[in-house]
Structure 1
Amino acid sequence: MRAIEYRFSTIWCFDAPVQVVWDAIHDSAHWPRWWKSVERVQDLAPGNGDGIGAVQRYTWKGVLPYRLIFDVHVTDVEPLQLLAGDATGDVAGRGCWRFSTEGGMTVVRYDWQVRTTRPWMNLLAPLARPFFQWNHDAVMREGGTALARRLGATPTPEN
């Protein structure tokens, strides 16, 4: 069965310094403390001082009644600018966080280009694709709102 590809882009804006936003996102081991859709993060390999080479296993649960488990191998780290990695598991592909500042706001853009590897997801994709996309968007909206709350920042309409 052919894997189905998805391309998602999410933009979060925070009235918080880029350093504190970077720190919260770079420290994904602690995401389950503030992002309810992230049930678990397991460290599988430490990587170097910046985190390049690190491997973590993520367990995600969105609004729909299924979980996704996948490993992310960190491939690129440019402090305060970029964090990227390759995913394998229930989804396979690449995720990239980009950080910038605009008008005193920290802007975070997350691009997630993955394909589903679970046979049932690929089988149902012709009908369920809009629901999978909606679920992803709900997870990301919740994450942006939760991070704003954690940072004491005012959520913006993008979150």
Structure 2
Amino acid sequence: MHASEYWFITVWKIGAPIQAVWDAVHDPAAWPQWWTCVERVSEVESGAADGVGALHRYVWRGRLPYRVRFDMRVTRVKPLVLLEGVASGDVEGIGRWTFSSSDELTAVRYDWRVRTGRGWMNLLAPVARPLFEWNHDYVMEQGGEALARRLGAKLVSIGHRERSS
């Protein structure tokens, strides 16, 4: 894997019904209302009724002093199971949400396989990689905690893993 390529895996386990979790994640336009790291989401194109083909523009900010801007085109939707898109902009690659449940516990896994698209990020990647990973983990922790609060549920656990291939 090149220094500017990343494969993050985050798993949230939330004590809420899968339908409620799905509804919140499937509605990115509402993310800035509850996920503080999401500064802005604007719909560029609406896509089909299930969301396939929709294009959203995102602005994110973590703990580090920069913003990440990218467009995400929804490529696959399987209600209550999978939501996938292709990113372009400051980061380029694929984001995939997968959902599963057991009783009232919902597991949400996010795979984010991207490469940085900004020159300074690529230049700094060999030395700043641990900081970029730490920042991503922070953003995802904030998201899991915020989603649980939004749903009035308990965040049972959150796990992170950076894949090397």
TM over 0.5: yes
Give the Cα separation in 2 of the matches to 1:120 and 1:32: 27
CA drift at 1:157: 2.6
The equivalences for 1:1-159 within 5 A come to 4-158=4-158
**SS of 1:95 mapped into structure 2:** strand
Identical pairs, percent: 59
Give the Cα separation in 2 of the matches to 1:85 and 1:69: 15
Compare relative contact order (CA 8 Å, sep 6+) and give the higher one, 1 or 2: 2
**SS of 1:53 mapped into structure 2:** coil
Normalization by structure 2: what TM-score?
A: 0.93
Residue identity matched to 2:108: V
User: Any unmatched runs of 5+ in structure 2?
Assistant: 160-165
**Is 1:3–1:116's contact at 8 Å kept on the other side of the alignment?**
no
**Is 1:3–1:117's contact at 8 Å kept on the other side of the alignment?**
no
Runs (4+) of structure 1 exceeding 4 A deviation are none
CA drift at 1:126: 1.0
Aligned CA RMSD, in angstroms, stands at 1.2
**Is 1:76–1:83's contact at 8 Å kept on the other side of the alignment?**
yes
